[in-house]
Amino acid sequence: MITANNSPLRRQVAELVVVRASGHASDHQRRYPRWEQSNKKLQRLLSDGVGGVILLGGTTTELISRCKNLRQWAQAPLLICADVEEGVGQRFEGGTWLVPPLALGQLFQKEPERAVALAERYGRCTGQQAKSCGLNWVLAPVCDINNNPANPVINVRAWGEDPQTVAELICAFERGLCSAGILGCAKHFPGHGDTETDSHLELPIVGHNQERLNNEELVPFRAAIASGIESVMTAHLLIQCLDQQRPATLSAAVLKHLLRDELNFQGLIVTDALVMESISRSHGSGEAAVMAFEAGADLILMPEDADEAIDAICAAITSGRIGLPQLNAARQRRHLALEKVNNNSQATNTLQVSNEKTSELESEADRILARELVEASLQVRHPKSIQSVDSGINLLRVDSLLPCPMLAADAPALTLPSSSNFQPLICHNLGLSPWQPNPKHPLALERLGDGSILLQLFLRGNPFKGRKDASEPWTEAVQQLQRDSRLAGLIVYGSPYLWEQLQQVLDADIPAAYSPGQMPEAQLQALNALLATNEPQPATGPTKFNEFTD
């Protein structure tokens, strides 16, 4: 190590690093022990002055406890953030889980005012719950425009497919966040919508010229900056017209010249996670951090090795490669941001006390919002037309079962079809394959058994999958089931592009539904809409005694 752990310079630099930790209390509960600091290391880093933590995993009760502990360990104002783009419940069980933003982008085309009002409530709900849990910084809104349906990483996370829609909705979201007294973050600058490469895995290259960027990708960022967004997160993208060599995260042309000078952004610039392979493959922790800081970033998010990042920046300052004024400016921006949210610490405490009293984080208004968002984005063909059968199959396809937060044992997607005698059969990434090598008959039907099939596809085009799902022949499978008169119904939860594609081959008489959301509320509404059972059913879970005290 170049400087002593507690030299004043090192502490000042450490303030600008944001490390990742699990939302769980114990080390052995970590899901990603390689990336998530152990408690011992976390305590040491915080006592060395590290100024930010990004949390993932666990429940909201754990998050509350975790944030308290982190603040005790830090003994200085701390930025605590999470990627709660779709409500706190997206990342922390117990919070409200909202439909993905693209749902509102679609609603905006028909009912712009309603969409804007919902987006503001979306931001307020997310911000209030995040704050009640102890976070002070929400890493949202996504300001990317999903102008490329094949985008593997943005997709339904975007607020729309065109600049104006996204700009309107993210400003509304930001107003909601702001009213809750929590910091927001516009990402991923200068726009990650038109890529077909997952930057978690490799560096995407964007070939658009400056005029196109100006008229398209930059529009929502300009709006976010005008509306007072407190931070902007950089993208790991090579934008050739701006910088031939360096990805945006490491490019002074993008961060200093475009974002600071041209767009006049005065808030915090934070890198996307430096461990992402599009960066870490080419640059070590130290050099990546120095390059990002040199390029104009204020905060260094998730360097693979936090000490290395801090030491390398210290060395760059000591050697004169980076000037002290830049360090001071970054610290000052962080200080101002923290001041803004720490004013409201009294309010936070009050909220937390009231939570402890009722045990409920989610308010009645939050529940109504979650329900209304599902209603507003649900599409249904032939309502109430799936009849009960003697013996049918409820065929579900999910991205992953380990874990599968939308599919607990009492999920409506399992229990409601069961009450019409469609028995669940779950296909997932680690399960037996339902496919056979026959292009026109891709489903190996003898593996599924007899009876008509209700098909529920939970596919939203997640990152990290390398578009594997896209190679599954669901279009041909739907055609095959129709030819055999075995398709009782179809529900797509997630990707609107998959839904559009399947609608093109769907026979006119097949009951079908689409929801951008995958959460239990979306399942409940879609199935209540399609199943011809007498009454809409609440999600009461198992009705037979089946797990108890032994």
* Selection from 166, 186, 172 nearest residue 265 by Cα: 186
Q: Count H helices, E strands: the chain?
A: 20, 16
Please state the closest distance from residue 509 (CB atom) to its own copies, in A: 28
Complex with its own copies: residue 12 or 452, whichever CB lies closer: 452
Which of the residues 149 through 178 are near its own copies (CB under 8 A)? 153, 157
Per-residue x/- track, 259-288, its own copies (CB under 8 A)? -------------xx-xxx--x--------
Among 401, 445, 470, 505, binds its own copies (CB under 8 A): 401
* Selection from 394, 381, 378 nearest residue 511 by Cα: 381
* Selection from 235, 226, 212, 236 nearest residue 266 by Cα: 226
Among 16, 53, 54, 506, binds its own copies (CB under 8 A): 54
Among 56, 180, 289, 291, binds its own copies (CB under 8 A): 56
Complex with its own copies: residue 402 or 508, whichever CB lies closer: 402
Instruction: Indicate the residue type of 522.
Output: A
Q: Is 330 in the site for its own copies (CB under 8 A)?
A: no
Q: Give the pair of three-digit tokens for residue 364.
A: 């009645």
> ω into residue 516 within 30 of 0, thus cis?
no
Please state the closest distance from residue 311 (CB atom) to its own copies, in A: 22
Please state the closest distance from residue 24 (CB atom) to its own copies, in A: 7
Among 1, 2, 226, 409, binds its own copies (CB under 8 A): 409
**C-alpha–C-alpha distance, residues 206 and 189, integer Å:** 13
Among 3, 5, 9, 35, binds its own copies (CB under 8 A): 35
Please state the closest distance from residue 148 (CB atom) to its own copies, in A: 16
Tokens 């509350």 belong to residue = 64
**C-alpha–C-alpha distance, residues 20 and 38, integer Å:** 10
Q: Is 125 in the site for its own copies (CB under 8 A)?
A: no
Complex with its own copies: residue 71 or 340, whichever CB lies closer: 71
Tokens 């102008």 belong to residue = 147
Complex with its own copies: residue 10 or 188, whichever CB lies closer: 188
Cα 116 from chain centroid? 20
Which of the residues 346 through 375 are near its own copies (CB under 8 A)? 356-362
Alpha helices per DSSP H over 359-472 = 364-377, 412-419, 445-448
Q: Is 389 in the site for its own copies (CB under 8 A)?
A: no
Q: Give the pair of three-digit tokens for residue 280.
A: 């870490």
| Residues composing the chain | 550
Residue 398, H or E segment: strand 392-398
The SS3 of residue 503 is: helix
* Selection from 494, 498, 490, 524 nearest residue 408 by Cα: 524
Q: Is 66 in the site for its own copies (CB under 8 A)?
A: yes
The burial class, CB within 10 Å (0-12 / 13-18 / 19+), for 537 is: middle
Which of the residues 448 through 467 are near its own copies (CB under 8 A)? 448-449, 463-464
Which of the residues 529 through 548 are near its own copies (CB under 8 A)? 539-543, 545-548
Please state the closest distance from residue 159 (CB atom) to its own copies, in A: 14
Maximum alpha-carbon separation in the chain: 78
Q: Is 200 in the site for its own copies (CB under 8 A)?
A: yes
Name beta bridge partners: 459.
Answer: 494
Please state the closest distance from residue 411 (CB atom) to its own copies, in A: 8
Q: Is 31 in the site for its own copies (CB under 8 A)?
A: yes
232 CB-side CA count, 13 A: 33
Instruction: Indicate the residue type of 341.
Output: V
Q: Is 72 in the site for its own copies (CB under 8 A)?
A: yes
Complex with its own copies: residue 12 or 90, whichever CB lies closer: 90
**C-alpha–C-alpha distance, residues 170 and 181, integer Å:** 17
Q: Is 26 in the site for its own copies (CB under 8 A)?
A: yes
Window contacting its own copies (CB under 8 A); options: 53-61, 162-170, 238-246, 252-260 = 53-61
Please state the closest distance from residue 110 (CB atom) to its own copies, in A: 28
Among 321, 335, 447, 467, binds its own copies (CB under 8 A): 447
Cβ atoms 310, 14 nearer than 8 A: yes
Catalytically annotated residue among 200, 382, 428, 441: 200
272 is catalytic: yes
Complex with its own copies: residue 56 or 502, whichever CB lies closer: 56
Please state the closest distance from residue 364 (CB atom) to its own copies, in A: 12
**C-alpha–C-alpha distance, residues 164 and 221, integer Å:** 11
Catalytically annotated residue among 198, 243, 272, 311: 272
The burial class, CB within 10 Å (0-12 / 13-18 / 19+), for 122 is: buried
* Selection from 177, 538, 128 nearest residue 363 by Cα: 128
Complex with its own copies: residue 250 or 322, whichever CB lies closer: 250
Complex with its own copies: residue 510 or 522, whichever CB lies closer: 522
Please state the closest distance from residue 264 (CB atom) to its own copies, in A: 26
Q: Which residues are catalytic?
A: 200, 272
